[in-house]
Amino acid sequence: MSANTKHKTRKELATIWRYGLGSTISYLINLLIIWIMTDLLGVHYLLSSIVGYASIVITSYIFSVTWIFTERKIASRGKEFIAFTLITVFAILMNLVSMWFFTDYLGWYYIISNITTNFLATIWGYVPKKIFLFSSKKQKVEYEVEDILPSLDDPDDLPTPFIYEDELEQD
């Protein structure tokens, strides 16, 4: 594996780690909002799910532009936020339909439904955000399996959630 490929792979793995951690924090805020609204305030779980999902959009956008992604395709923060929100519209619709299906149709507890649907939406959300918003390169990059998976021979090659671009340049 070339040094440039190794650099790109480590950078992408670090981005995925940060995305996972940011998504987890955003999701926990969402879950707290849904629980408070539904159990403590008596709001219908689908309405509280919409409000909770709005919190995911806001917090994950803040994490995305300040910590997760280092490259941009859209210079305007306003336009970028609108595009970010539009990408999540599908995830919100998927969330509501899934919440209804798991809770009303299958009889699952709404918190379990929410955990399941948000896990799926998080996985779906990474790829379009990375491709359409947070990449300076408009060309497709293809990796071989050995370029993506770290070598277990050298512990320094294993990804950590806190690798930043300036640290990689020192390697």
Q: Would residue 150 count as lying in a domain?
A: no
Q: Would residue 117 count as lying in a domain?
A: yes
Q: Would residue 69 count as lying in a domain?
A: yes
pTM (two decimals): 0.63
Q: Would residue 149 count as lying in a domain?
A: no
Report the pLDDT value the prediction gives residue 131, as an integer from 0 to 100: 80
The set of long-range contacts for 155-162, using a CB threshold of 8 Å and a minimum separation of 24, is: 157/6, 157/10, 159/10, 159/13, 159/14, 159/17, 160/14, 160/17, 161/14, 161/17, 161/18, 161/20, 161/21, 162/14, 162/17, 162/18
Q: Would residue 151 count as lying in a domain?
A: no
Q: Would residue 145 count as lying in a domain?
A: no
Q: What string of pLDDT tens digits covers the 171 residues of the chain? A: 677 777 778 888 888 888 889 988 998 999 999 999 999 999 998 899 889 988 888 888 888 888 888 777 877 778 888 888 888 777 778 878 888 999 999 999 988 988 888 777 777 778 788 888 887 654 333 434 444 344 545 545 444 444 444 444 444
Number of domains in the chain: 1
Report the pLDDT value the prediction gives residue 11, as an integer from 0 to 100: 82
Range of the domain at 12: 3-138
Q: Would residue 19 count as lying in a domain?
A: yes
Q: Would residue 95 count as lying in a domain?
A: yes
